[in-house]
Chains A and B, each alone.
Chain A
Amino acid sequence: MIVWLVGRSENWPAIREAFFNLREFRETLPEIASKFRRNVLFFMVAEPAILALAMLLAVMRSLPGPVFFPLRAMAIVYTDFFRGVPTVLVVYFLGFGVPSLGLAGVPIDPAFWGVLALILSYSAYVSEVYRAGIETVHPSQVAAARSLGLTRWQSLRFVVLPQAVRRVVPPLLNDFVALQKDTALIAFIVAVPEAFKMAQIFQQARFNFTPLLAAALLFLLITVPLTRLVDWLLARQRARRQGGAAL
């Protein structure tokens, strides 16, 4: 309906020229697409690191007893901080700030710091997702594991975490999608070539917004299938829960 209204408005030709310009699209897409590979690369590097760090944080948070208080506290401080500070701020801070210090022995590639910023930020969110998953594993599972003589670690590793992770696959995949999109934040750090930056450059050089649309479309190419996958998984989980359940 909105599309129809916009199409009928007086300004449509101007809008079409500025945003949906086919010629601009065709000319800029190849360059943007090639830079989009960097976005995907950032994602492929960041995601495993996030999954691992978040798992570490979630486990640290769940350690019981006064002995482990320092570890729990560290995990809480970490997650509070990185959930509380906007990701773009962290990206900017690390991506601009660290290379500019010129410290010896520290990588100066701003892309490195940009990806690291994403890893640090996202791990905080994902660790909360893991924690939620861990909490849904019924305590009777832990009781059964301990009753066999398994240690707390063994119970966690063999019984709790496998079940927890399976349960939170949909929200985890949602975070995947968010991360893929947020690789565009690295464009805020100058001199890191990736799709959004490329589109920005074109837009500023050619006074046309269509390149941004091209970049958006590339992101959609990845995120939409992922989102459909999440929906499908959720539907399957729901069906299973209603269909089966002896426990």
Chain B
Amino acid sequence: MLKGLDLDLRDHEVVCLIGPSGSGKSTLLRCIDLLEPIDAGRIAIHGRDVTARGVNENEVRRSVGIVFQAFNLFPHMTVLRNITLGPTEALGLSRTQAEERAADLLGRFGLADKKDEYPDRLSGGQQQRVAIVRALAMQPDIMLLDEVTSALDPELVAEVLNVIRELAAGGMTMVIATHEMGFARDIANRVCFLDAGVILEEGPPERIFTAPREERTQRFLQSIIEAGRM
């Protein structure tokens, strides 16, 4: 899937991955969170090679937060339990501590009144925000967002983007795969255009969106404009 790419990330940096379907954005994010095995190369977090032998993958995953396109909330648990499961079982917090943390995060993002609801009673936007809170509850060093608004009705997209904006403003290091070009332009420190498993082009958003160098980048952005999404 991924044919060879290098990506360096600095603390507090927000990198947006754009590109056509199948270009490898999701795969890249999943690889970083050690959800997909890599055939060659290495992934290092804070200087530590996490793809080396003998690394405790579960431990690594605790410090990397990922949110998927399809929310993936646990349907048999309330919102609160969805959020406290990781902290209590993987981080060893007590129930009370975990619930405090959850309540705090839910409050910050306007979801406090939903804490005892089951996911199927929430709107798509609410579910996705809960999914983000669930990842944040683990207090990760880096957040990976995999096209988190692509499955949402348009009117629900904004509430989720605002949450992400807040995170970025708070200094969270993030890699965001997205089709929302306007949003990417706003929020990214750097934009990478992926195509067929490689990073074809990368650079600051102003340059990528207004003066892309590669022809395929130009074609992709053109199709996005034509689709009315930028």
Interface residues of A (CB under 8 A from B): 140-141, 143-151, 154, 158-159, 162-163, 166, 244-247
- Given the known inter-chain contacts A158-B85, A163-B75, please indicate yes or no for A148 contacting B138, CB distance below 8 A: yes
CA distance A211 to B33 in the complex (A): 67
**A147, B61: Cβ atoms closer than 8 Å:** yes
> In whole Å, how far is B116's beta carbon from the nearest beta carbon of chain A?
18
> In whole Å, how far is B223's beta carbon from the nearest beta carbon of chain A?
28
**B90, A246: Cβ atoms closer than 8 Å:** no
Minimal Cβ-Cβ distance residue in B for A138: B72
Minimal Cβ-Cβ distance residue in B for A247: B70
A-chain residues with CB within 8 Å of residue B124 when the two chains form the complex: 246
What would 11 more interface pairs be, CB under 8 Å, given A147-B135, A163-B74? Answer: A141-B74, A144-B74, A146-B35, A146-B58, A148-B62, A148-B90, A149-B61, A149-B90, A246-B119, A246-B127, A247-B70
Top 7 closest A-B pairs, CB basis? A149-B62, A148-B86, A144-B72, A149-B90, A149-B61, A147-B66, A140-B72
CA distance A28 to B66 in the complex (A): 68
Partner of A149, one of B59, B70, B76, B127: B59
CA distance A147 to B145 in the complex (A): 12
A-chain residues with CB within 8 Å of residue B60 when the two chains form the complex: 149
> In whole Å, how far is A176's beta carbon from the nearest beta carbon of chain B?
22
For window 55-86 of B, CB contacts with A under 8 Å fall at 58-66, 68, 70-76, 85-86
**B61, A146: Cβ atoms closer than 8 Å:** yes
Partner of B72, one of A141, A158, A244: A141
B-chain residues with CB within 8 Å of residue A245 when the two chains form the complex: 120
A-chain residues with CB within 8 Å of residue B70 when the two chains form the complex: 140, 247
Partner of B58, one of A141, A149, A163, A246: A149
22 contacts between A and B (CB under 8 A): A140-B68, A140-B70, A143-B68, A146-B35, A147-B35, A147-B61, A147-B65, A147-B66, A148-B61, A149-B59, A149-B60, A149-B61, A149-B91, A150-B86, A163-B75, A163-B76, A166-B76, A244-B120, A245-B120, A246-B120, A246-B122, A247-B71
B-chain residues with CB within 8 Å of residue A147 when the two chains form the complex: 33, 35, 61, 64-66, 135
Is B25 an interface position by the 8 A CB rule? no
A-chain residues with CB within 8 Å of residue B73 when the two chains form the complex: 144
CA distance A247 to B86 in the complex (A): 21
CA distance A161 to B185 in the complex (A): 43
Is B115 an interface position by the 8 A CB rule? no
CA distance A150 to B122 in the complex (A): 25
A-chain residues with CB within 8 Å of residue B120 when the two chains form the complex: 244-246
Of B58, B59, B71, most A-chain CB atoms within 10 Å: B58
CA distance A145 to B74 in the complex (A): 9
B-chain residues with CB within 8 Å of residue A145 when the two chains form the complex: 74
Of B35, B74, B91, B122, most A-chain CB atoms within 10 Å: B74
**B58, A143: Cβ atoms closer than 8 Å:** no
CA distance A239 to B58 in the complex (A): 38
CA distance A148 to B83 in the complex (A): 10
Is B134 an interface position by the 8 A CB rule? yes
- Given the known inter-chain contacts A146-B35, A246-B119, please indicate yes or no for A162 contacting B89, CB distance below 8 A: no
**B89, A150: Cβ atoms closer than 8 Å:** yes
